[in-house]
């Protein structure tokens, strides 16, 4: 079965300070796959879209390995909590809160994200 590509004019935007920053077209985000984007200040963000269409944005840097790889991690859920597992050491990070599900002392930055 071949699926038709989604066509929309919607953009993915992040709340940075007191304004919205346009990151990419919504159709770039495929459910279950991450995308990395560079922010104006040089940081990287990892963007995700789940199968229900909900958007998530987190820091792309893995705090355990130090590499910007979270956008390439595997997504899933644990007890209703959506997460991404780092491709390096497999720690899981809650996509809504940034909390590491394997080490509660560790947390990554999350961003408010919308399609507009």
Residue 97 lies in a domain: yes
Domain encompassing residue 89: 22-115
Residue 12 lies in a domain: no
- Residues 17-35 have pLDDT tens digits of 999 999 999 999 999 999 9
Phi then psi dihedrals of residue 85, to 5 deg: -100, 130
Count of domains for the chain: 1
pTM to 2 decimals?
Answer: 0.91
- Residues 45-82 have pLDDT tens digits of 999 999 999 999 999 999 999 999 999 999 999 999 99
Q: Under a CB-based contact definition with an 8 Å cutoff, are residues 63 and 106 in contact? A: yes
Q: How many CB atoms lie within 10 A of CB 84?
A: 24
CATH code of 98's domain: 2.102.10.10
């Amino acid at each position: 079965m071949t699926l038709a590509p989604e066509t929309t004019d919607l953009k993915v935007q992040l709340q940075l300070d007191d304004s919205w920053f346009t990151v990419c077209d919504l159709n770039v985000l495929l459910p279950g796959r991450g995308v990395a984007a560079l922010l104006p200040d040089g940081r990287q963000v990892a963007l995700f879209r789940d199968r229900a269409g909900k958007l998530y944005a987190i820091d792309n840097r893995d705090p355990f390995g130090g590499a910007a790889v979270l956008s390439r991690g595997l997504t899933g859920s644990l007890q209703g909590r959506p997460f991404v597992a780092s491709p390096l050491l497999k720690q899981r990070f809650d996509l809504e809160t940034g909390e590491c599900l394997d080490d509660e002392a560790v947390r990554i930055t999350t961003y408010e994200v919308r399609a507009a």
